[in-house]
Structure 1
Amino acid sequence: MASELHEAIFMAKQERHKNLFLNYRNLNHFPVELLKDEGLQFLERLYMKGNLLTTLPDNLAQKLPNLIELYLHSNNIVIIPEAIGNLPRLQSLDLSCNSLHLLCPEIGRLRSLRHLRLSNNQLKSLPPEIGDLQFLETLDVSMNLLTSLPDRLHRCSSLQHLSADHNLLSHVPRHLCRLARLTQLSMAANILTFLPLDLGGSRELQFVFVDYNVDLKGLPSYLYNKVIGCSGHVAYFLRVRSCGASPPGDDQDEALSEALLGLPAEVKAVASEADNVVPLEELAMRTLHRLYQQQWHHATDVNFPPSIPLPKSLLDLLHFPLGHCHLCTQAMFTVIYPKLFPLRHTALAAVHRRTTVSFVAYCCSSRCLRTFNLQS
């Protein structure tokens, strides 16, 4: 086995191979032959699946500077050295099925990275620096121990596919609704109780999978014409048109309360058609938001928000509102006007009869509440 390995690396050096396959070689350590002398300066793709590696060498970037893809699926890697950030051309990094407990912040220095796969590890958190990966298109952190996702993840402006199934996530950061290119979001088998009010508002987001979140009862109405999976089993709801829905009545009050069990902490009031006057605090926040947006629009540096003398918690809310009215797009901060559309009243009832999930429209006023329907 050792002679075969030596020969494979020798041939790669002699013939200047761009791809090197060292899968299933029972390697306990990174082959020293790859790190001798000048290393393999021309190597672009290194595949080392199914070995027994526990770490990577600190001089990896120095000896293999042109790596584009590093495939380390199914090893025993516990730690990634800080030097991983010195691979300027790396576009794909697969560390799935390892023993990672921690991901170093230097991962954020891989500015060319497009695909990062970390599924089936022991990660309890992700470094905020992941938000620095502006070209990242795929992020898979399924089957870990994550209790939250980094707030700065919304800075990954190229992100298209985000998978975080089988974790301990209690909520989806509303910041993710700002990911304009996100097409697929998968967060099955977590402990979600609610989804961001704006989730699905982007035309690009077409696939949302939240199966096996047993306390999740209400989906934002934006998701109605998307492809979703929900309610404890896989239920593919294909794009259909509404066949009409009944407005909430006394017989739906209990169902509405159940659908709203896990609202964000910022919601201070759940209003109804009878509440015709928006609270003063909400009006003040909306006015501040318009001012904030105007200052942001005229700011010379778009990377820094305008300066408004408010506590950070309020500034964060101004930058990322609780949601936007599903009818008129007015920003909302502390009060919502919900409208329930139980599945039995929609065309989706025939698709999968076992689901108990309902759609909820979140409106900014009693007027929008009365006007909204699923075809708005």
Structure 2
Amino acid sequence: MATELHETIFMAKQERHRNLFLNYKNLNKFPVELLKDEGLQFLERLYMKRNLLTTLPDNLAQKLPNLIELYLHSNNIVIIPEAIGNLARLQSLDLCNNALQLLCPEIGRLRSLRHLRLSNNQLKCLPPEIGDLQDLEILDLSMNQLMFLPERLHRCLSLQNLTVDHNLLSHVPRHVCWLHRLNQLSMAANRLTFLPLDLGRSRELQFVFVDNNAELKGLPSYMYNKVIGCSGCGVSSHVAEGSISAVLGEALSEVLVGLPPEVKVVGSEADNVVPLEELALRTLHRLYHHHPSDLTALPPITLPKSLMDLLLFPLGHCHRCSQAMFTIIYPKLFPLRDTALAGVHRRTTVSFVAYCCSSHCLRTFDLQG
């Protein structure tokens, strides 16, 4: 095996191969032949699937500076060195089926990265710097131990496919709704209790899969015309027949659909007055939203971080009129069993929920409209 490996690498050097396949070689260390002398300056793609590697060399970028694709599927890699950030041309990194527990912040320096696959590892969190990957198109984080996603993920402006199946997520940050190129979002088999109110508002997002989130009982009405998967949702408890329309107010947030903690008031058709805090945030939001390129011309404001974050990233937008919402919502329920999709989605008890900004929008919203 050692002789065969040596010959393969020697031939690659002699013939200046751009692709090198070292899959199934039973390697427990990175081959030193790849790192000798000047390395393989011309190599663009390195495939090392199903070996026994536990880490990567610190001088990988120095010896293989032109790598575009690094395929390390099914090894025993526990840690990747900070020097990984020096692979300036890397576009695809596959670390699926390894033993990663941490992802170093330097991953954010891979500014050319388009595909990052990290499924079936032991990751409990992601570094905020992952938001610096503005060319990233595909991110696969399935089968890890993630309890939350970094808010800065919304800076991955090119992201088209995000997969976080089989993790421990109880919620998804509303900032995900600012990923305007996102086409497919898969969050099956987590612990989700609510979804961002704006999820599905983007026309680009066409496929949403939230199957097997037993505590998830409400889907934003924006998702009604999308391709959705919600089998196994809302099955942890059952609401009695005929009681859906009566379950509003606090009961709605606690029992039926679950709501983000920022929601301080749940309105009903009888409410005609919007709280002062909500009106103030709406006014500030309109002021700053209409002058995004010249904030210096606007009066400075000082708000607690939580309110400033809410001002920049509203809780959602009215499903009827698109008014930004911050602390109060008016929900209107449409049980899936009463919609045209009832025959498609059988093993679920979820409802579509229209989140509105006022009692007027609540009364006039039509799911089919």
Structure 1 residues 292 and 75, CA, compared in 2 at 3 Å: closer, same or farther? Answer: same
**2:238 corresponds to:** none
Q: Please list the CA deviations of residues 151-189 of structure 1 after superposition, one character each: whole Å capped at 9, or x if unmatched.
A: 100000000000011111110110000001000001111
Matches within 5 A, 1:87-126: 87-126=87-126
Q: Please list the CA deviations of residues 112-168 of structure 1 after superposition, one character each: whole Å capped at 9, or x if unmatched.
A: 000000011111100000000000000011111111101100000000000011111
Q: CA deviation at 1:288?
A: 1.4
Q: CA deviation at 1:296?
A: 2.2
Structure 1 residues 136 and 251, CA, compared in 2 at 3 Å: closer, same or farther? Answer: closer
**1:322 corresponds to:** 315
**CA contact 1:295–1:306 (8 Å) conserved in 2:** no
Matched, 1:291 2:284: no
**CA contact 2:119–2:141 (8 Å) conserved in 1:** yes
Structure 1 residues 251 and 76, CA, compared in 2 at 3 Å: closer, same or farther? Answer: closer
Q: CA deviation at 1:231?
A: 3.5
Q: CA deviation at 1:259?
A: 6.5
Matches within 5 A, 1:12-23: 12-23=12-23
Q: Please list the CA deviations of residues 246-280 of structure 1 after superposition, one character each: whole Å capped at 9, or x if unmatched.
A: xxx86522388377442000001111110011111
**2:10 corresponds to:** 10
C-alpha separation in 1, matches of 2:114 and 2:48: 19
Matches within 5 A, 1:277-316: 277-299=273-295, 307-316=300-309
Letter in 1 for 2:80: I
**2:212 corresponds to:** 212
**1:331 corresponds to:** 324
Matches within 5 A, 1:182-221: 182-221=182-221
**CA contact 2:42–2:64 (8 Å) conserved in 1:** yes
**CA contact 1:193–1:262 (8 Å) conserved in 2:** yes
**CA contact 2:83–2:106 (8 Å) conserved in 1:** yes
TM-score after normalising by structure 1? 0.92
* Number of equivalences: 358
Structure 1 residues 230 and 82, CA, compared in 2 at 3 Å: closer, same or farther? Answer: same
Q: Secondary structure at the match of 1:211?
A: coil
**2:354 corresponds to:** 361
**1:262 corresponds to:** 258
Q: Please list the CA deviations of residues 8-50 of structure 1 after superposition, one character each: whole Å capped at 9, or x if unmatched.
A: 0011000000000000000010000000001000000000000
Same amino acid, percent of matched pairs: 81
**CA contact 1:18–1:43 (8 Å) conserved in 2:** yes
C-alpha separation in 2, matches of 1:250 and 1:332: 27
Structure 1 residues 218 and 209, CA, compared in 2 at 3 Å: closer, same or farther? Answer: same
Aligned residue among 257, 264, 271 for 1:275? 271
**CA contact 1:271–1:338 (8 Å) conserved in 2:** yes
C-alpha separation in 1, matches of 2:300 and 2:102: 35
**1:165 corresponds to:** 165
Q: CA deviation at 1:294?
A: 3.0
Q: Secondary structure at the match of 2:279?
A: helix
Letter in 2 for 1:374: L
C-alpha separation in 2, matches of 1:259 and 1:341: 16
C-alpha separation in 2, matches of 1:59 and 1:306: 50
**1:84 corresponds to:** 84
Structure 1 residues 32 and 162, CA, compared in 2 at 3 Å: closer, same or farther? Answer: same
**CA contact 1:123–1:144 (8 Å) conserved in 2:** yes
Letter in 1 for 2:340: A
C-alpha separation in 1, matches of 2:338 and 2:80: 52
C-alpha separation in 2, matches of 1:319 and 1:268: 18
**CA contact 1:114–1:138 (8 Å) conserved in 2:** yes
**Aligned-residue CA RMSD (Å):** 1.8
In structure 1, the gaps of 5 or more residues are 234-248
Q: CA deviation at 1:299?
A: 3.8
Q: Secondary structure at the match of 1:347?
A: coil
**1:37 corresponds to:** 37
TM-score after normalising by structure 2? 0.94
C-alpha separation in 1, matches of 2:151 and 2:23: 36
Letter in 2 for 1:267: V
Q: Please list the CA deviations of residues 293-315 of structure 1 after superposition, one character each: whole Å capped at 9, or x if unmatched.
A: 134242489xxx99522111111
**CA contact 2:192–2:215 (8 Å) conserved in 1:** yes
Q: Please list the CA deviations of residues 77-116 of structure 1 after superposition, one character each: whole Å capped at 9, or x if unmatched.
A: 0110000000010000000000101100000000000000
In structure 2, the gaps of 5 or more residues are 234-241
**CA contact 2:217–2:258 (8 Å) conserved in 1:** no
C-alpha separation in 1, matches of 2:202 and 2:122: 32
Q: CA deviation at 1:343?
A: 1.3
C-alpha separation in 1, matches of 2:333 and 2:186: 24
Letter in 1 for 2:161: H
Q: Secondary structure at the match of 1:176?
A: helix
C-alpha separation in 1, matches of 2:116 and 2:73: 12
Letter in 1 for 2:202: S
Structure 1 residues 21 and 143, CA, compared in 2 at 3 Å: closer, same or farther? Answer: same
